[in-house]
Chain A
Amino acid sequence: MALIAGGTITAGQYIACSSKKDKYAHITGRINGASAATGHRLREGGFPPPEETTHMHTVIAGSGAAGLAAGRKLRLQGIPFKILDLEPRPGGNAASGENAWSSYPLGAHYLPLPNLQNGDLLELLREAGILTGYDTAGLPIYNETDLCFDPEERLFIRGRWQEGLVPQWGVEADSLSTIQRFLAAMDHFRWVKGSDLRYAFDIPVACSSADPQFTQLDDISMKTWLQQEGYHSEELQWYLDYCCRDDYGADTSTVSAWAGIHYFAGRKGKAANAGPSQVLTWPQGNGRLIQHLLQFSQDALLTNSLVYQVTPAGDKVHVDYFDVIRQTTCRIIADHCILATPHFVSCRLLPALQPAKGFVYSPWLVANITLDHIPASSGYPLSWDNVVYKGRSLGYVNSQQQTLLQTKPEKQVISWYLPLDHLPPTDSRRYALSLDHTHWVKLITDDLELAHKDIHRLIRNIEVQVWGHGMIRPQPGFITGVALKQAQNSGYDNIFLAHSDLSGISIFEEAFFQGNKAATQVISRS
């Protein structure tokens, strides 16, 4: 009897499986974009006149890392403020989500060890308990559970996983020595100073040397520079494309040599209890830092609030916003305003601000994938960052890396990153917004199958996050150009701009720097 029953089940399953054409049909999930529809209302305009008016010392538009950093600084000075954001949850690119098994980043997922000169950032980390003290040599000691656990990185190359992301496995000696020469050059750039005695490459970018012998590197593309310098190695070329796509959302032919070198040379972090290349990471990615920053703005934060117009009015500034939930418009009359929004948004809010040339944004896709387990494959074991050599995506990060448990979680969650750089930004943005979930599932799963055959059987859910304007692209001439310099100023004494795109590089450190800078300006006027 049991046998017959068993037989029927198997036959039934077989029929069910073979009749199902789409082998990915079992994968559930949704597309969760930055609220593009609400945001696009900015373009359409036509908001009714404000129904309510309130007063506030300072208004911050945008609750990403820059806006929240500004909020923190103001709170520490006891200055009252409100933060408005059109999204239902704060955090911008550093936002995070969670499901039953893990928290996960929706965007940025790590912070490299900060440079020792970056006192503000070190102070933030100390305040958050991430930095626990300094050793006798003055090197910071980081909380052990916040440093990325070993094994950190692996690369799937020529059919197996190797340790580290710099290609090694099966790479020819010539190529290896080219890679070594490149890395040595980067180490030189890391510590070299310009005629103004500043580091050639520093974080924040604003602290970098203005010495032309370095800034002229911004005039050419990274790819051109590599050719000029005679770095001919297929593997190195791939690795650098990977790095540039990772930090700027575009490859070496698109970003400037200055930015490409900055990726390596800008980072000079040191720690008493970690190597210089190590990073701080958390299951929720940089959501951990947002969580800390939010403590300073909790009662000041208005989400679902789309700022649509900022109007200077004498020594005041009128900030008009649309309450997405109540569907009403409101006005805050403020003494100061900080626009912690990307430049292209700021220009729409403040009509007097002219859109500057050269602000190009890379669209991104981040997918959080829940699966039964990550299948074992040959070579180095599952690491924090797992990259496929010459893959379309940047690979995936294991969200549960920072666990202290002995057992594997019931379900694993990985965050998969794809810079949409196959088309010009506007086209790929349109492409990304037009794709439905089924297509994303296919695209993502096919990419994972390169290193993990038949992984689709293990995947349960894919949450897709589309970032239409994911990060600023430092194309040649942008970081050192006039346009970026001019874009720093609003043209008004009481309106300040704070966003990482004003640094030309979209990283947490820059957003934090810009936020602090704007807040300092508000404080100095108060």
Chain B
Amino acid sequence: MEILLFFSVFVIATCGLIYELVAGTLASYLLGDSVTQFSTIIGAYLFAMGIGAWLSRFFKRDLLSWFIQLEILVGFIGGISSALLFLLFEHALSFRLILYLLVGLTGILVGLELPLLMNILKNRYAFRDLVSRVFTFDYIGALLASIVFPLLLVPYLGLIRTSCFFGILNVAVAIIVLVKFRTEIKWASYLKAKAIAVIIFLGGIFFWANDIMTFSEGMAFRDPVIFTHSSPYQRIVLTRNKSDLRLYLNGNLQFSSADEYRYHEALVHPVMVYSQQHRQVLILGGGDGMAARELLRYPDVEHITLVDLDPSMTRLFRENTLLTRLNHHSLQSSRVTVINADAFQWIKQHKTPYDIVIIDFPDPGSYAVGKLYTTAFYRQLRHCLHDSSVMVVQSTSPFVAPKAFWCVNTTLRTCGYQTIPYHTYVPSFGEWGYVMASPGTQPLRQQQEQLPEGLRYFSASVFPQMRLFAADMADRPVSPNQLNNQVLVQYFEDEWGKYQE
């Protein structure tokens, strides 16, 4: 009997600390800055425990029943906490508020546990004994939790399963107490049913944790995964470590917050310098709003139309505070209109000319995306351009996939565009290529000197160097990419396939 009760103390203590660690880890995954997150979470949690301890004075009768109720509740809330936070991260406007509310609630409940238990035990043991034993087990439990959490639980179970597992342990304590003291407990069968229901529920989450937050997928990424979403079009994954946030679409890196400015400045500013007018801009792809952010630096950009296939991408980058910090709220700008449509269909239906077109599609790794790099596409796009419009196409890596890169250039030239291929180094991507193109008959020439303030990478003086291609990336004879040959997809797959072997 005695052993059992003190074992309960041990389990309760372990669970309590685990919930705290889970909350702290989640906060630093999702919000970054682990020192701040951990210390504020620990502070808030301990403070909430204090509130719980204070509240314990109001429980005067039926203590055992209340204790069992409490265990079930702690198990339930603690158990679902990380699944809930992962799910809400995408939708909540203020994730922080929800996080601290949950931490506060768990803290209060955990804070109630020990005082309540000591009240239950006070008539069975001498006070000296009681205090000594309860705290001994409490601290041993805490030690165990703090060791197994980083070494076993996070790497092998993942956060969602860890909290479920400990939630189940909490409820198991409730059941053990329930069975041992069944004669002294009111509403015993009701409590038993409730406890079993919670265990089944948590067991379900444990079992389906992969669907909530693909843990195995998380293993495939370099950094902890903080967000996943499967839209009808693609799988969106965000990962985060202490210094950067990365976006993956279908497992392919789209940007790293540490160096995306290099990619996006190189994508946007050269066309701006090479075009006379900036008034009407079209972005195809680029649902992350980063290209729009660069364009909004120009006061003479009157309007940006952004056409991206996936509403869940543009919503994420319009609403999530973490991401809007990166794109400077560009998708909320009154100068930007976001349209969720299939680019090929959209350009077939819209024939108003744009001064600038930025094409930031995913790499041509599939026959579906490959169609957006064909002669048919670029010929159709001509109807969205006037003679002096300038566009740019992100064109994969000229180092890893030189044939694929030069194929984009050849395809554009076949369609009668003047082109300037160029490249830059983006550490997280490697050497990356772009093709600037204009339908005019004259070669592209620089039209403007002025660049906006605040650029970290691009300047007029680095551009000549970006246009130089060393021998290992130099132009080579390739066929234009057509709907009926899709050579680009083949080049791309061959070259990237070899590179990744």
Q: Which residues of A contact B (CB under 8 A)?
A: 3, 144-145, 147-152, 273-275, 278, 381, 404-407
Contacts and interface: CB of A to CB of B under 8 A. Distances in A.
Contacts of B345: 404-405
Nearest to B204: A3
Contacts of B233: 406-407
Contacts of A147: 482-484
A155 B344 CA distance: 30
A404 B375 CA distance: 13
A407 B483 contact: no
Given A144-B376, A406-B309, A406-B369, A278 B344 contact: no
A110 to B, nearest CB: 12
B312 to A, nearest CB: 13
A452 B485 CA distance: 26
Contacts of B342: 404-407
A393 to B, nearest CB: 24
B371 interface: yes
B484 A149 contact: yes
B367 A151 contact: yes
B484 A144 contact: yes
* Contact residues of A: prevailing secondary structure: loop
Given A274-B484, A407-B233, A150 B367 contact: yes
A406 B483 contact: no
Contacts of B232: 407
Interface string B314-348: 00000000000000000000000000001111001
Nearest to B348: A404
Contacts of B489: 150
A274 B374 CA distance: 14
Interface in B454-501: 482-486, 489
Contacts of A407: 232-233, 309, 342, 368
B372 interface: yes
7 contacts: A150-B485, A150-B486, A150-B489, A273-B375, A404-B342, A406-B371, A406-B372
Contacts of B375: 144, 273
Interface residues of B, number: 25
Nearest to B200: A3
A405 B374 contact: no
A145 B200 contact: no
A149 B367 CA distance: 9
Interface string B227-268: 000001100000000000000000000000000000000000
A52 to B, nearest CB: 49
Contacts of B485: 150, 274-275
Nearest to A144: B376
Contacts, number: 62
Given A404-B371, A406-B309, A406-B368, A145 B483 contact: yes
A280 to B, nearest CB: 10
A150 B484 contact: yes
A218 B8 CA distance: 94
Contacts of B344: 404-406
B488 to A, nearest CB: 10
Contacts of A404: 342, 344-345, 348, 371, 376
Interface string B367-406: 1110110111001000000000000000000000000000
B364 to A, nearest CB: 12
A442 B162 CA distance: 49
* Leading 4 A-B pairs by shortest Cβ distance: A150-B486, A147-B484, A144-B376, A404-B344
A358 B487 CA distance: 46
A241 to B, nearest CB: 28
Which of B343, B376, B483 counts the most A-chain CB atoms under 10 A from its CB?
B483
Contacts of A381: 367
B482 A273 contact: yes
Nearest to A279: B484
Interface string B75-109: 00000000000000000000000000000000000
A302 to B, nearest CB: 37
Given A144-B374, A273-B484, A406-B369, 14 more contacts: A147-B483, A147-B484, A148-B484, A149-B484, A149-B486, A150-B483, A274-B482, A274-B485, A278-B484, A406-B233, A406-B343, A407-B232, A407-B309, A407-B368
A112 to B, nearest CB: 13
A294 B486 CA distance: 33
Contacts of A150: 367, 483-486, 489
B361 to A, nearest CB: 9
A379 B482 CA distance: 23
B486 A151 contact: yes
B3 to A, nearest CB: 34
Given A404-B344, A405-B342, A407-B232, A144 B482 contact: yes
A381 B367 CA distance: 9
Contacts of B309: 406-407
B80 to A, nearest CB: 15
Contacts of A144: 374-376, 379, 482-484
Interface in B164-193: none
Contacts of A278: 484
Nearest to A383: B367
A275 B479 CA distance: 12
Contacts of A149: 367, 371, 483-484, 486
A151 B493 CA distance: 14
B192 to A, nearest CB: 16
A274 B482 CA distance: 9
A145 B63 CA distance: 77
A144 B348 CA distance: 14
Contacts of B368: 405-407
A65 B279 CA distance: 52
A3 B193 CA distance: 13
A127 to B, nearest CB: 21
Nearest to A273: B482
Nearest to B370: A150
Contacts of B371: 149, 404, 406
A405 B376 CA distance: 13
Nearest to A271: B484
A227 B486 CA distance: 39
Contacts of B200: 3
Nearest to A152: B484
Nearest to A1: B197
A407 B366 CA distance: 12
A278 B482 CA distance: 13
Contacts of A152: 484
A151 B197 CA distance: 53
B368 to A, nearest CB: 5
A381 B490 CA distance: 12
Contacts of A3: 197, 200
A278 B374 CA distance: 17
A145 B377 CA distance: 10
A147 B484 CA distance: 6
Nearest to B377: A404
Nearest to A274: B484
A379 to B, nearest CB: 14
Contacts of A406: 233, 309, 342-344, 368-369, 371-372
A407 B372 CA distance: 12
A28 to B, nearest CB: 25
A260 to B, nearest CB: 27
Nearest to B376: A144
A274 B197 CA distance: 65
A374 to B, nearest CB: 14
Contacts of B486: 149-151
A149 B482 CA distance: 8
A325 B320 CA distance: 64
Which of A150, A274, A278, A406 counts the most B-chain CB atoms under 10 A from its CB?
A406
Nearest to B232: A407
Contacts of B369: 406
Contacts of B484: 144, 147-150, 152, 273-274, 278
A169 B309 CA distance: 37
Nearest to A278: B484
A408 to B, nearest CB: 8
